[in-house]
A = this chain, B = another copy of it.
């Protein structure tokens, strides 16, 4: 597939410096690009080093003008990369239809251009929108509803009655709708509380590989529009994750937590149950959040504190042995002074 720079520039809203009729056959990293590729100079460190890539063309920030390459100058090179990389993405295979080696339940409704691979299991009363791809080993249980343009990768389980919106991607090995972790204790043993709610995933959500998202005890665990989760993320029962919020790898969200819109939880962070996290909050990696966090805060550490304070406080940890010595030393000197002044 060859695409002209003119077309690329139009796609990304960029201005071209050089020959916009140049044809490009792929996108590649700065160091790995070949003479028929376009590449990217997102970081300012590439400024003045554009001669070092073998690419024929480079997408650059608007303030870069000069190079012996064709330049596509844009406001947001990172965003342009997103658009161009999708343009060249291989694998936009035509739909394969419903494989005869898939197992389909009763009362199945399926939109057009489905790709249901061999080894897929679909229960009863399932409905799929248009352009849905279910990769091999996907299990979709009774009563599940899935929207348009959804891709569910291999060995994912979508359990009973869960609802998935449009343009959702779920990566391999994830589990949507496992039972919430709810037990009643009689003083001796635990008794299971049936988890009879669902998981609801709204439009434009992307769920990473090997995530576990539990169904609600009652009602719904709710992943709102535009949420992106990385791999191995755990979301417990009755959690609500707000629009365009990002959960980085190995984050764990306890039961009944609510998270607002446009927030970011960095890798391996944990949130205790019933905590509310606001909009546009950033939680640092490995943080342990046990209290609610208002809108706009940047919080790190265990327990959480303002990120700047945490940077200072955590840098002191390595000085604690010296501080302890200093403290003993000062105490001795005070004792000396006290003796001296007592004598006088």
Q: B-contacting residues of A (Cβ < 8 Å)?
A: 27-29, 32, 76, 78-83, 85-86, 88-91, 101, 103, 117-119, 121, 135-137, 139, 141-142, 153-155, 157, 159-160, 169, 171-175, 178-179, 181, 183-186, 188-194, 196, 204, 206, 208-210, 212, 214, 217-219, 226, 228, 230-232, 234, 236, 244, 246, 248-250, 252, 254, 267-268, 270, 272, 285-286, 288, 301-303, 305, 309-310, 312-321, 323-324, 326-327, 330-331, 333-334, 337-338, 340-341, 344
Contacts and interface: CB of A to CB of B under 8 A. Distances in A.
Given A194-B85, A249-B234, A313-B320, A244 B188 contact: yes
B232 A212 contact: yes
Given A172-B159, A212-B232, A231-B178, A327 B330 contact: yes
Given A175-B210, A230-B236, 13 more contacts: A27-B218, A82-B184, A85-B194, A91-B160, A136-B139, A139-B155, A231-B234, A250-B250, A286-B286, A323-B327, A327-B330, A330-B331, A337-B341
A218 B327 contact: no
Given A27-B218, A139-B154, A315-B303, A78 B119 contact: no
